[in-house]
Amino acid sequence: MEISPVRRRPSRRQAIIVIVAALCVLGVLAYFGARGLVAPQISASPSVTQTSIATASSLPSSSPSVKPSASLSPTPIPSPSPSPVPTVSPSPVPTASPSPTPVASPTSVYEARRAALPPCPGVSACHVYTVVTGDSLSSIANYYGVDLAQLEQYNPQITTPDLIYAASSVLIPG
């Protein structure tokens, strides 16, 4: 009876070492390949130039390794091909579209902001603003483009201009 040799499986440690080594090699190749630092490819048919022949003939050699060829001719340089000239196609003539009917719109941003507020009851050119937390009379006057003194005149109920309360109403002129 013949005993066959027992084949051992590689240990986990050996497998991890092989995987890490392979990843390192791939990482190095990717690093240098991305930077164009990989060695140039060697072609199957070596090219002989006049410079390499002159360099090789000036070196002493024990035995001739390259036999001269019949003649060397320079490699033809391809001439640049003319670029295509773009043809000009006629552009379409724009057709007249009907202009929109003008709508009465506010002439400034401030007028648009005031127009968004509800009007004062019984008073023309006046709007009601409801104070929110953080407002001051000067910030309201600035936002709606109104002079602070004029805003104070429209709001005699505000006795201390530095102190206004949220949810109170302020009349905005204009």
113 in a domain, yes or no? yes
87 in a domain, yes or no? no
User: pLDDT tens for residues 137-156?
Assistant: 999 999 999 999 999 999 99
State the total domains in the chain. 1
90 in a domain, yes or no? no
Q: Looking at the predicted structure, is the pLDDT value of residue 117 above 90?
A: yes
Question: Is the Cβ–Cβ distance between 113 and 144 less than 8 Å?
Answer: yes
25 in a domain, yes or no? no
Q: Confidence band (pLDDT; 50, 70, 90) for 132?
A: very high
In 3D space, the residue among 172, 106, 105, 127 whose CA is nearest the CA of residue 145 turns out to be 172
Question: Is the Cβ–Cβ distance between 127 and 119 less than 8 Å?
Answer: yes
Provide the residue type at 108 as one letter.
Answer: S
Name the residue range of residue 130's domain: 109-173
143 in a domain, yes or no? yes
Helices (H), 59-174: 109-115, 137-144, 148-154
The CATH number of the domain holding residue 146 is 3.10.350.10
